[in-house]
Amino acid sequence: MKKYTDINDLENISKTIQEAIQLKKNPYVFENLGKHKTLVMLFFNSSLRTRLSTEKAAKHLGMQVMTLNVNDAWNIEFEDGTIMNLDKSEHVKEAAQVISQYADIIALRAFPTLTDKEKDTSEIVLKSFEKFATVPIINMESATAHPLQALADAITIEELKTKKRPKVVLSWAPHPKALPHAVANSFVNMMQEIDVDFSITHPKGYELNSEVTKNTSINYNQEEALKDADFVYVKNWSNYTDYGKVSNQDTHWMMTKKKLGNAKFMHCLPVRRNIVVEDAVLDSENSVVIQQANNRTFSAQIVLKKILENL
C-alpha cells in the first residue's frame, strides 16, 4: 500500500479486515516492522480518538511518533503563485517536502471549511500534501473522507454480525452545529464495498454528494428504513446541497431504543446524548460505540503495517 487517503487505497478490503482482527489479538507481534521509522501526525484540527489510537497503533508497530498541531506553528499557504504578504508564513510546497524528511509516513487531519464547497470538494489540504510530500500520506479525516473510521466500522460489523449479509442502515440525526460529511461519505463508500444490505435514511433535502451515494437506496421514512436492521449507524451531517447549513434540527430523527429495536447502534463519537441518540440506547448492550472506538487502533495499525511493508 502506498498511501491511505480514501478506502479505494485498500487492495482487498475483506482480507484487510481479517488481518486487523488478527492484529487485535496480538498487537505487538510486528513490533520490529516500524523500528527506526517515524510517523509524523499533523493536526490542523483537534482530535481525541484519532490522536490516541493512531499513536498507539504506530507504537504497536515499534514506530516513533512525532505530533504537531499545525496551527500552533504556522499558517500554511495552499494556493499556487500567491504573493505571501498576509498571514500565511509558509507554503505547503516547502512544508510538505520538509516534513517528509523527518517522517517515513505523514498522517494528516484537516477538516472542511463548510463554507466553501468547491475548496472542500477539491480537498486542497490533503491533495497538496499528497502532491508535495515525498513519503506516504494517511488521511486522519479530511474535508470529505474519514477512511480510518470507515475501516474501523467495517471491522466492528465483521466482528459482530450474526448473519452472512447483515442489514446496515445509515440514519441521519439532528445536531446543533454544522458537521462535515466525511464520516458519512467514507461509511457509505465502505458499505458499498462489503457484503451488506445497505441503505441510507435522512430528511428530504439532506442528500449526501450523489457521486458518493451512487445507487445506494435512500429512504426518507426513517421507521420504514430501520425495519429489521442489524446495524444502525447514526450520524449527523450538515446540508450538502445548501452547503454547510443546519437546515433541519428535527428532534424526531434522534435515535431511540424503540426505533433501534434489536439492531446494534453505531456512531463514530463524539456523540451528543439526547440530541443524536437517547441515553437509553448508549447505555444499553446494543451500543457498540466503545468497540468501534477500540477498532480505530487496529484500522490504523493494519494501514500503517501495509504501508511500512511497502516502504
What are the binding residues for N(2)-succinyl-L-ornithine? 141, 175, 235, 272
Rounded Cα–Cα distance for residues 97 and 131 (Å): 10
Q: Which amino acid is at 184?
A: A
Stretch that binds a second copy, among 9-17, 36-44, 209-217, 237-245 (CB under 8 A): 36-44
Which residues participate in the annotated binding site for carbamoyl phosphate?
47-50, 74, 109, 146-149, 268-269, 296
Other Cβ atoms within 10 Å of 285 Cβ, number: 7
Rounded Cα–Cα distance for residues 276 and 253 (Å): 8
Q: Which amino acid is at 257?
A: K
Check residue 216 for interaction with a second copy (CB under 8 A). no
Q: Which of 108, 168, 288, 293 binds a second copy (CB under 8 A)?
A: 293
Site for a second copy in 160-189 (CB under 8 A): 176
Omega before 270 cis (within 30°)? yes
Check residue 256 for interaction with a second copy (CB under 8 A). no
Check residue 89 for interaction with a second copy (CB under 8 A). yes
Sign of the alpha-carbon dihedral angle for 308, 133, 111, 222: negative
Distance (Å) of CA 158 to CA 144, 152, 193, 285 = 24, 10, 13, 17
Stretch that binds a second copy, among 7-15, 156-164, 255-263, 264-272 (CB under 8 A): 264-272
Which residues lie near a second copy (CB under 8 A)?
Answer: 28, 36, 38, 40, 46-49, 51-53, 55-56, 59, 64, 66, 68-70, 72-74, 77, 81-86, 88-91, 93-95, 97-99, 101-103, 176, 269-275, 279, 282-283, 289-290, 293-294, 297
